[in-house]
Amino acid sequence: MSNTSLALIRVFVPLSLVSFGGARTIIPDIERQTVSVHGWLTHREFIEMFAISRAAPGPGVTLVTLIGWKADGWLGALVASLAIYVPVA
């Protein structure tokens, strides 16, 4: 597992645990972590991915899968998705 995948876990597991009320409640924290702290995305890329995740059918945290994919490819998409879903399952 890459360092980026481990960082995705460290970012999204805690956010998953505090996301009472759905993904909308953690969007600002996701933006801060992915753009300002880790630099996986630019602000524009974040907004574009947010728009795609809102337009696509399915849960709002599809954004996390897109971020994982951008940060670390398919492994990152899988790791980020599991990190946001599994802790609350």
Per-residue pLDDT of the chain (89 residues; tens, 9 = 90+): 789 999 999 999 999 988 877 778 899 999 999 999 999 999 999 999 999 999 988 777 899 999 999 999 999 999 999 999 898 76
Q: Is the dihedral of CA 57, 76, 70, 24 positive or negative?
A: positive
What pTM does this model have?
0.90
Report residue 9 CA to chain centroid gap. Answer: 10
Radius of gyration of the chain (CA): 12
15 and 37 Cβ atoms separated by less than 8 Å: no
Distance CA 15, CA 80 (A): 11
Which pLDDT score, from 0 to 100, does residue 20 have?
Answer: 78
- The reported pLDDT for the residue numbered 81 is 94
